[in-house]
Amino acid sequence: MKKFLPLLLLALVSAGAGVARATPDRANLISEVQSCYAILQEFMSSPATAIPPEVWQKAQAVLIVNQFKAGFIFGIKGGYGVILAKKPGGQWSLPVLLTANEASLGLQAGAKSVETIFIMTDSQTPKLLFHQRFNIGVDAKAVAGPKAADTESDNRPILAAPVLVYFKEAGLYAGATVKATEVGRNDEANYTLYNTTFTLPELIYSDWVQPPSELQPFINYVQHLSP
């Protein structure tokens, strides 16, 4: 029995990943993008979690991730995210859907939502997603970002990091190194969402696809935060 246990665990991971990769219909994809918009608005509504203007001034991309922990014996963490990038002319891109899935051997009682925002401060870091997957904190250094409430701190050393991470949980001081999560391209979902065969690089850095009316307020909001 013992020798079959690793195979059973691997099967559970594969099954969970298969479910996570299933492409929902377009209405569900719109809802996922809008939920990420709502997460950003919620973060920005309180000084305890808001991203300060000095960070938005450096922002070259914003990644918003919504993950779910579930399972009792073998926890599967699944979820999704969106990334928007600032184009060379200063305009922000379409919100492009990503996967955010990971298997965990830790015991998980019940389910918990984990909402995270990543601000990328240079133009090269978001391009790591051109290679399908991006392990935040491994492929690029990530640190906890300063919040709007930290008005008396000198944040210049922190802002030099390529990725600034924002959680709702308290206790993580600004500048602390973070090993966050792995995100990946979800070209199939974006084909459905935007009715196109263009993939992530073209959706982020070209003007070949126009945003649907349902998603334009999200783009406008990010443009307002980081003109």
Which range has the worst mean pLDDT, 14-28, 164-178, 206-220? Answer: 14-28
- pLDDT, tens digit, for every residue of 114-168? 899 999 999 999 999 998 888 887 888 888 888 876 655 666 778 888 999 998 7
Would you give the distance in Å from CA 121 to the centre of its chain?
A: 14
Q: pTM to 2 decimals?
A: 0.81
Q: Which of 19-23, 151-155, 190-194 has the lowest mean pLDDT?
A: 19-23
Among residues of the chain, what percentage have pLDDT more than 90?
Answer: 55
Facing residues of 116 across strands? 65
Question: CA dihedral in degrees (125, 92, 36, 108; nearest 10)?
Answer: 0
pLDDT at 13: 44
Task: Pick the closest to residue 21 from 99, 104, 131, 130 (CA basis).
Answer: 99
Region 56-67: mean pLDDT is 95
CA pseudo-torsion sign 188, 194, 198, 201: negative
∠ CA 58-60-64, nearest 5°, is 110
Asked if 213 and 89 touch (Cβ cutoff 8 Å), the reply is no
Alpha helices in the chain (DSSP H): 5-21, 26-44, 53-58, 156-159, 187-194, 200-205, 216-225
pLDDT at 186: 96
Backbone dihedral angles phi then psi of residue 8, each to the nearest 5 degrees = -65, -45
